[in-house]
Structure 1
Amino acid sequence: MTTTAVGATGLVRLLVVTQFAFNVGFYAVLPHLATHLSDQLGLAGWLVGLVLGLRTFSQQGLFVIGGALTDRFGPRPAVLVGCALRIAGFTWLAFARDAWPVLAAVVLIGFAAALFSPAVETEIARQAVDRERRTGEPRTRLLGLFHAAGQAGALLGPVLGVLALGSGFPAACLAGAGVFALVLLGHWRLMPRTAATTGHPRLVTALGGIARHRAFLLLCLAYGSYLVLYNQMYLALPAEVGDPAALGWLFALSSGLVVLGQVPVSRWSARVLSAGAALRAGLVLVAAGCVATALLPGDGPLPAAVFVVLLTAGQMLAVPAARALVPDFAGDRGLGLHTGALSSLSGVLVLVASAPLGALVDLGGATPWLVLAAIPLLGALCVPPTRREPPG
């Protein structure tokens, strides 16, 4: 039994705008957190690293919990509670002055995202599949639009943060909280109320099922190989560039390319590629970026720019495709759990790979980039077959 506050088209718009707003609020605060902790609060470097690591763990690692709750109670409660916790976390962080309150606020901020992000991602995937069944429009087109909206928020959020920082870091936190307050209000008024469903297996049982689902685990490995390479934007790329200002422009270039290119790329790939083929092609492009960076002469912006462009091109193919494949493995009642598990398991792969790859990057030269190129190529080999036929 469902009471619908908006129609299907209105719900899609709400979800796309929500993803944009999530990233506006997030990136208004988080890029400035490390500087605030070290410069304004005087925390030691290891403690700053711990704070940032706990935020990532409390978010990415718990996506699977948020996805399971979405399956059980529907997306609306998960989004509303998650937004309320994010507002509380940002407000707490604005006034925290000691290590323990900062740690608690940051964990709360991360856990909030572990609730609302899987809920929104699950619902947009469900709407994309439903639209594909009704109209024949490939699901990757809507998922690509969703991804582009998130990147637009990631591009605008730091600008909002810089403007708010003129009044201090607390003002940036409160600006971010204000964005999430608007999202909370919008979903309170417009998100459909879905009755709680029964018949879901216990979480431990459901996780056991995922652990035995070979094809889905292969998808997680494939998507995780992309995330490992995307993480090089924060690890290998700074070592390659060396100039913080140039690095900032490269990040802006990546987001700008997605904002401008994601929708046409998704339309093209939907016409000529299946989701599995698009994921493989995206991973090959990411590998090509690593090889080009290794072979191009000299250091500095040119090899780095080539890497960013090819990585972003691969991202525009791989991310919507990976999300489009999840419903094929999830079943009718497990879409939220599988959506969350894709993020959590891929995040574990990034965590495991970070230390050895960091040591490799310290060696410098072409070798690290050639080794990095092997990761998405192996990921492309992991992409599982699906029952759906490729388009046209």
Structure 2
Amino acid sequence: MTGTGPAAPAAGLLRGLPPLPRLLIGTQFAFNIGFFAVLPFLTAHLGGTLALAGWLVGLVLGLRTFSQQGLFVVGGTLTDRFGPRPVVLAGCALRVAGFTWLGFAQDTWAVIGSVLLVGFAAALFSPAVETETVRQAVLHEAATGVARTRVLALFNAAGQAGALLGPPLGAALLPIGFRAACLAGAGVFVVVFLGHLRLMPCTPAKSPADTLASAPGGARAVLRNRRFLALCAAYGGYLIVYNQLYLALPQEVERATGGQAALGWLFTLSSVLVIAGQLPVSRWAARRLSPRTAMLLGLLLMAAGSLAAAALLPVRAFGGLGPSLVFVVLLSVGQMLVVPAARAWVPDLTDGHLGLGVGALSSSAGLLVLVGSAPLGALFGRGGVLPWLALAAVPAAAALCLPGRSGPMRPGFSKVGASTAGNPR
């Protein structure tokens, strides 16, 4: 990669950004507070309060991920066409409706419908925010020499800070009931909606639709790009493993301790690791690793985490939480390497169709999660070593799917820069 930039601390890096990327990073922080006030407790609610079978819990979680990640391409395409503001506002409004419905849902069909709405809401606002963040990171790289992966790492760390604050909020409300956590999450998104209605620019300096119209081939060109599709497959493997924080991890904690009390602490550990480590890891990776090597190392660490969890199942270390701890630690470090590298690689593989590329990356990954969640849910419902071995095979296979060696990032990527070149600094 090029342009590693100065080794500024997080606060200095944030202060050095223009207003729009600072707003986008704050947006990710707020999104995750509302989201993680609900999601970590969804598995226990479905399997406990509503008494759904393990395979059905896995299917519901897979549907949520697919309706979110699988439909990112819709949000990304709409962002290319209309700019991020209206897409973000629509997504926030739907998330409020979805969380409220989920809080009152009792029947299986209502749970599935509310979960699909919650996921589709994110399919609108998340790609809009991510697309504009990638675009701004490329522009900032061209203007200052600070590697785009460092800006994207700050975006990821802000999301993890929100993920750190969300579960305690949900846990504090759980004695009142799962409905209270859902309504609190909805309340956060009401605040986000109102804030963006006031603060987010109505349009980029130059509409992304202009870039989309001028770049040849559209979706056909992006989706026929074998290197981009290989990146999508590898990212899908990462997302399948990451999704096990909400499926395998709660079941393993229940098996080891007989309850869910430790789950909040494990989510806290994951968030603290990413908040503390994301920027140093990304700074090191920007100097020493290509995007491909960073993703390869991250995926192999995730595979090692699953294998280590399998090996530690008979061990009673840390109150039986040894498998969960090693899985969370290695998954978190792998995430720090994979996510910024994958997002930073997208502009160089999509030739100007940035929103479409960001959306397609997550959509294809979401489809793979949907395919893999129900079988993994059934395996983990049975317990034992086999589910962890199967899980370890996923990132190992994803590593084999990575595109061939990549050259340096192009800091002046013209078709991305053209869309917002007039943004104030």
Task: Determine if the TM-score, normalized by the shorter chain, exceeds 0.5.
Answer: yes
1:159 pairs with 2:168: yes
Q: Which residue of 2 aligns with 1:111?
A: 120
Q: Which residue of 2 aligns with 1:3?
A: none
146, 161, 172: which is aligned to 2:155? 146
Change (3 A) 1:294 1:179: closer
46, 57, 66: which is aligned to 1:57? 66
Q: Which residue of 1 aligns with 2:84?
A: 75
Which one is further off, 291-300 or 74-83?
291-300
> What is the alpha-carbon distance in structure 1 between the residues aligned to residue 372 and residue 109 of structure 2?
29
User: 1:74-131 CA deviation, whole Å, 9 max, x = no partner?
Assistant: 1111001111222233334445566655544333222111100000011111111111
24, 27, 35: which is aligned to 1:15? 24
> What is the alpha-carbon distance in structure 1 between the residues aligned to residue 394 and residue 371 of structure 2?
13
> What is the alpha-carbon distance in structure 2 between the residues aligned to residue 370 and residue 48 of structure 1?
21
> What is the alpha-carbon distance in structure 1 between the residues aligned to residue 248 and residue 51 of structure 2?
25
The answer to whether the 8 A contact 2:313-2:385 is kept is no
Q: Which residue of 2 aligns with 1:251?
A: 267
> What is the alpha-carbon distance in structure 2 between the residues aligned to residue 80 and residue 311 of structure 1?
32
> What is the alpha-carbon distance in structure 2 between the residues aligned to residue 50 and residue 382 of structure 1?
25
325, 329, 347: which is aligned to 1:327? 347
- Offset of residue 315 of structure 1: 1.0
The one-letter code matched in structure 2 to 1:307 is: F
Q: Which residue of 1 aligns with 2:229?
A: 217
389, 400, 403: which is aligned to 1:381? 400
The answer to whether the 8 A contact 2:59-2:373 is kept is no
Say which structure, 1 or 2, has more relative contact order (CA 8 Å, 6+ apart). Answer: 2
Q: Aligned Cα RMSD in Å?
A: 3.1
The one-letter code matched in structure 2 to 1:136 is: G
Change (3 A) 1:306 1:132: same
Give SS of 1:192's match: coil
Change (3 A) 1:297 1:221: same
1:1-392 map, 5 Å: 9-33=18-42, 45=53, 52-95=61-104, 102-194=111-203, 197-198=209-210, 200=212, 206-238=218-250, 240-241=252-253, 242=255, 243=257, 244-296=260-312, 298-299=314-315, 300-332=320-352, 334-358=353-377, 366=385, 368-384=387-403, 385-388=405-408
Which one is further off, 77-86 or 114-123?
77-86
- Offset of residue 344 of structure 1: 1.2
- Offset of residue 134 of structure 1: 1.0
Which one is further off, 60-69 or 222-231?
222-231
User: 1:120-173 CA deviation, whole Å, 9 max, x = no partner?
Assistant: 011111111111111111111111111111111112112222334455444433
> What is the alpha-carbon distance in structure 2 between the residues aligned to residue 50 and residue 367 of structure 1?
20
The answer to whether the 8 A contact 2:266-2:328 is kept is yes
In structure 1, runs of 5+ residues without a counterpart are: 1-6
For normalisation by structure 1, the TM-score amounts to 0.85
The one-letter code matched in structure 2 to 1:261 is: G
Which one is further off, 83-92 or 191-200?
191-200
Give SS of 2:346's match: helix
State the identity as a percent.
63
- Offset of residue 180 of structure 1: 1.2
The answer to whether the 8 A contact 2:104-2:179 is kept is yes
User: 1:188-238 CA deviation, whole Å, 9 max, x = no partner?
Assistant: 22212226535747xxx7443333110001101111122222233344445
The answer to whether the 8 A contact 1:269-1:317 is kept is yes
Change (3 A) 1:39 1:375: closer
> What is the alpha-carbon distance in structure 1 between the residues aligned to residue 57 and residue 374 of structure 2?
17
Which one is further off, 97-106 or 20-29?
97-106
Which one is further off, 158-167 or 21-30?
158-167
The one-letter code matched in structure 2 to 1:352 is: V
> What is the alpha-carbon distance in structure 2 between the residues aligned to residue 189 and residue 140 of structure 1?
29
Q: Which residue of 2 aligns with 1:4?
A: none
> What is the alpha-carbon distance in structure 1 between the residues aligned to residue 350 and residue 410 of structure 2?
20
Give SS of 1:245's match: coil
- Offset of residue 296 of structure 1: 4.8
- How many equivalent pairs are there? 380
Change (3 A) 1:349 1:169: closer
The answer to whether the 8 A contact 1:68-1:336 is kept is yes
> What is the alpha-carbon distance in structure 2 between the residues aligned to residue 327 and residue 288 of structure 1?
30
In structure 2, runs of 5+ residues without a counterpart are: 1-15, 412-425
Change (3 A) 1:39 1:149: same
- Offset of residue 25 of structure 1: 0.8
Change (3 A) 1:377 1:9: same
> What is the alpha-carbon distance in structure 1 between the residues aligned to residue 329 and residue 309 of structure 2?
11
